[in-house]
Structure 1
């Protein structure tokens, strides 16, 4: 048996042994039986209330916490009635009856007794009226919002005969968001599964083989969901709808990628070894370190999110890290055990036999590598310039938040109601500023707030002196003239905060919807400046340790950053001029960066580790061409799978998810077909052996890559040196001996 560099001999034998593979399957079966039922409970453990999303130390979060002492956390639903030519006497009677019915409503947290209204847009001939119905939040979070709004809808009915009736405000919008998230787990699961099935069928051309990785990722997903559920219930881990949805995509995408990378090397070894267990041990030994490094890069990058200020971003970190870690474990234990149990026939109809030709040696990627080798410097310069030009689309990026009216891909009732309300009432109505201050200074704080030109003075419905008092504090509200999700409303928050903070001894704080959006924007800016450099450092360290070099990791980091900029630039152009999206979420650049850098580096890791392996035997330049030839097809397939699974986010009717899915899918495709296959290959060929500095490989002569029509590794080329005869020369490939080539560059 060949020596096993990398993994410990015992660890590989434990997975690949003739008897131990059955033990591995039995252990995973026990894990699935015990944990799968817990995984189905994850949606019930989600925490989607405001504090699970907002920055933990932000002023709006503090106001939200303080206001719980005055009243339970509430979210108002606004019932809007409108008739453009004026409300009739019959309309007024109906509205009064609806108010009476709403005041008796007690279902799903609706506090009917606190219903306010009707408020008319004008007198004596009103055209519109609004009713404000508070909904109390509890431990069930936003899960009760949709039923609460449905119960309000049952009381007020629908419009007709020229009268329109809509339910909007924060409560109505939250209910529509909740409905959009309904079935998110199953929707993404089946969408991702369909993508994986199609891509694996195309890649493997085997209707049997695809079931092994598919079973592995499904088991990994259920296991990860169960572990996250246990941590959420007993260790305080915060999980929301966003992190639960991304978990599904990550496990399917990353898990399938790891399976593809392993099975490609396993198939290579099956062409060289009769014993499939020996072939798997060698495949695990040679591909395992790269897969481990890829998984470690993703896990560590996700854990970096723990330093973020945004609670939603910080909560995503451990959720995503657990998902990828479990997927990695399953693909390096369960998946190889399944392949070994099934034997060679699982590859039917293209079963790899000992001595059969390796199609990757003479395929499109072998030819691509030889073409690049003729003019590597011209190739990488032209490619980098093209990517740089496309990245100029970044000037179109508007990552300042998505207005409520534009956050859905369609137009639900709450958005229609918001537009109707804005025609007749102050735009910030229904989502006011919330101000708390010490009791003694409450009147002065109230006058200060009312003095702001963009605050409606009459909206301070409860005079501060008569407002409810709790623990020496007073709470009151104020309506802005601008919509709460607009830049003007955020400017108002900044002015009002500066003014009330200046009131001596008031200890006043300003919260509410507009304040929360402002705090989220500021926190996200902080997170971008902190998280992005840390993730780059993590990736650089992993690459340096894996490749035992400094130049190659720096080059790879540079190409990944260029790929990210290009993906964001092209995405911004598409969002503006193709999809007509109003903007991007404040977290959009960070999420796209983390996913693209952490996941996209996988392909560079797999390529460069193979190049390094080949460089040790044939020299760097020939190693580059051989590495691209042998990994090109599988990395392309892995990229298509990952891009497809992230594109599945577009099945959700929420613009923020669709944007992340589109940008990550585009970035993965760019990285797979352009950055990794062209830019990295050309750079390594141009730099030559110095790419491994300070490793001893930097001092080898480098050799010359073949530029003839024959792929490396065929007849006329000696067996792999250093493999102790394990790799006999491939037989059956056409072509003559290699011709001398002019050194590239």
Structure 2
């Protein structure tokens, strides 16, 4: 490793590293190019899901390659007049130029006469931009020439797809811009320098750009689609982790500049000191993200693949490009707080060292109080409500939701998204009568059929993808077991939502234990200890539950969210545990480095003094970066951002700086069990006593 660090930092070769890095970046961009995600988030269910099997059987019908959008017409108050209905009917004729097969059925009017529905058959379009253009054209034609006072909303399957995709339209640029601004401000505050922040921000920005390209190439090779939500989270991950690594390296570099005259030698030593912690940290996060590849849902797999690739790219730029870029400049880069050779040791005066010494006096009291506080935070879990209906997933209600709410007022709530029942053709009549006896079924009508199978459309008395609709789908599936030959399948939007929820739960039950085992294994290998990794893992899991508890209370009281989306807990756990372990690694590896000279207790105090500032800065920065996810009007990403933000702050300000040192002081040398530290606390105390005795004057002799 010494040869590698010298090559990266030496006067003759650091330029080579920079030039090769720039050339490789440019070559990758020219060869692969940059493409924004132009696909909607996929359903991602496995072929074994019942709704997928039902959809596969639907392919036997002629209109399988079709989808539909629903236009909702109505006034703010009052019924639609005959002239209104005539104008709406005229719009259906004009919409024939856009619709599949050139025909749009006449409008359906609600019993109260306040609302008219027009179903527009459409061909399936994979491109998000093409879907958006078609939706705009439909809206324009539908509104053209309507009488004053009539409002039209575009909803249904196509309407929701367009509105969800619109959330991520330009999301990369919005997230990148705000994230870069937040990182720049926090770096300026951290370094108190008008210059230094530019170098790490530029390196991490390039890493984010390249990570997007590399992730897309790897995903294409693996047959995985990256949508806007994945690429948005990827930018947050790369900026957050990459900046954390930069903070750790630069902090170590600044310390070494006070001890060594040659800045290149100082960087080489800093890289050898911080490099193993960064490699261990980045590898842990990348491997934890890779556990999502074992999931059933393709959306989880795409995030796992892209995130793991992004972290590896961020780690490479932090360890190779950033050191070479920093040593090109002199010490003046830190102006006005330039670290001069021989200047006082700021670590010994660190407030974090004083905090550590205070904790060491009463470690049991501090640890109990710390975990009690985490327990109080976690008490908010009692308010946790998991599950969001389709209409509840947006912070600002888009047109599709407003249209769906208008339909729910005038028609059965599930009339725009009926469940699809596929049965053998000979059982169609029996099943049609039987499903009407299921609680929550408003209507059942025959659909397309052939010699083998028949489709029955079932309207539910519940909002699409709500807990009520899932319960009805479950009852419907149970009823089908006793109707006909028992082979009936239930599909449609609500069935897909139920299958997605169940698949997400299975992924969560699989991935969370994998993450815990993986993180524990990495810590055991890194620290060559069993007790320390277990204590660190307990602390980070406790901070996760605390964050979810606080988040649950905030969602219900401050944000007014009706519940927590099904995938929020898995993603929050993944990011918090994987990224939270970063700080454990930064702290404990430094303590391990100090133990041979100072012993366990004094080594932890010294490690806390050395890393407390950078861990706090990194934690605040990472929390702010994840909070940026809240700029998107999608509740799921906002909830992930809020929980991770809270969790990182708890982990940074309480767990890593107070609870972990307290547990170390309680365990003392047993913290490294079964390995014995090179210098035990007892030996360190004796060494200190011996040194004190040598410095004491000899007592005067008395007569």
Normalized against structure 2, the TM-score is what? 0.93
Q: Distance in 1 between matches of 2:348 and 2:384?
A: 42
Q: 1:437-448 maps to which residues of 2 (within 5 A)?
A: 437-448=423-434
8 Å CA contact retained: 2:67, 2:157:
yes
Q: Distance in 2 between matches of 1:226 and 1:207?
A: 31
Structure 1: runs of 5 or more not aligned? 1-7, 707-712, 719-735, 738-745
Q: 1:36-75 maps to which residues of 2 (within 5 A)?
A: 36=29, 41-44=34-37, 46-48=38-40, 50-51=42-43, 53-70=44-61, 71-75=63-67
Residue 669 of structure 1 and its aligned partner are, at CA, apart by 0.7
Residue 728 of structure 1 corresponds to none
Candidates 59, 62, 69, aligned match of 1:77: 69
Residue 636 of structure 2 corresponds to 656
8 Å CA contact retained: 2:42, 2:299:
no
User: Are 2:113 and 1:133 equivalent residues in the alignment?
Assistant: no
Residue 449 of structure 1 corresponds to 435
8 Å CA contact retained: 1:73, 1:138:
no
Candidates 20, 23, 29, aligned match of 2:13: 20
Distance 1:139 1:156, change over 3 A: closer
Residue 137 of structure 2 corresponds to 151
8 Å CA contact retained: 1:438, 1:506:
no
SS where residue 568 of structure 1 aligns? helix
8 Å CA contact retained: 1:188, 1:648:
yes
User: Are 2:282 and 1:301 equivalent residues in the alignment?
Assistant: no
Q: CA RMSD in A?
A: 2.4
Residue 545 of structure 1 corresponds to 525
Residue 326 of structure 1 and its aligned partner are, at CA, apart by 0.4
Q: 1:78-477 maps to which residues of 2 (within 5 A)?
A: 78-83=70-75, 84-105=77-98, 110-111=99-100, 113-122=102-111, 126-140=113-127, 142-157=128-143, 161-400=148-387, 402-457=388-443, 459-460=444-445, 463-464=446-447, 467-469=448-450, 472-477=452-457
Distance 1:626 1:23, change over 3 A: same
Distance 1:11 1:443, change over 3 A: farther
Distance 1:485 1:114, change over 3 A: farther
Residue 699 of structure 2 corresponds to none
Residue 469 of structure 1 and its aligned partner are, at CA, apart by 3.1
Residue 520 of structure 1 corresponds to 500
Q: Distance in 2 between matches of 1:267 and 1:665?
A: 28
Residue 597 of structure 2 corresponds to 617
Residue 536 of structure 1 corresponds to 516
Aligned pair count reads: 689
Residue 701 of structure 2 corresponds to none
Residue 481 of structure 1 corresponds to 461
Distance 1:167 1:634, change over 3 A: same
Q: Any idea what the Cα deviations from partners look like across 1:334-388, whole Å, max 9, x if unmatched?
A: 0000011113221122111211123232122122112111111111111110111
- Shifted more, 435-444 versus 299-308: the winner is 435-444
Q: Any idea what the Cα deviations from partners look like across 1:134-184, whole Å, max 9, x if unmatched?
A: 3332342x4433222211111111776443322222322222222221110
Normalized against structure 1, the TM-score is what? 0.88
Q: Distance in 1 between matches of 2:391 and 2:248?
A: 43
8 Å CA contact retained: 1:428, 1:481:
yes
SS where residue 653 of structure 1 aligns? coil
Residue 581 of structure 2 corresponds to 601
Residue 505 of structure 1 and its aligned partner are, at CA, apart by 4.6
Q: Any idea what the Cα deviations from partners look like across 1:666-724, whole Å, max 9, x if unmatched?
A: 11111111110011111111111110001121882346799xxxxxx9xx999xxxxxx
Q: Distance in 2 between matches of 1:511 and 1:50?
A: 16
Q: Distance in 1 between matches of 2:157 and 2:668?
A: 59
Residue 578 of structure 1 corresponds to 558
SS where residue 435 of structure 2 aligns? helix
Q: Distance in 1 between matches of 2:511 and 2:500?
A: 15
SS where residue 117 of structure 1 aligns? coil
Residue 700 of structure 2 corresponds to none
SS where residue 130 of structure 1 aligns? strand
- Shifted more, 32-41 versus 331-340: the winner is 32-41
Distance 1:635 1:389, change over 3 A: same
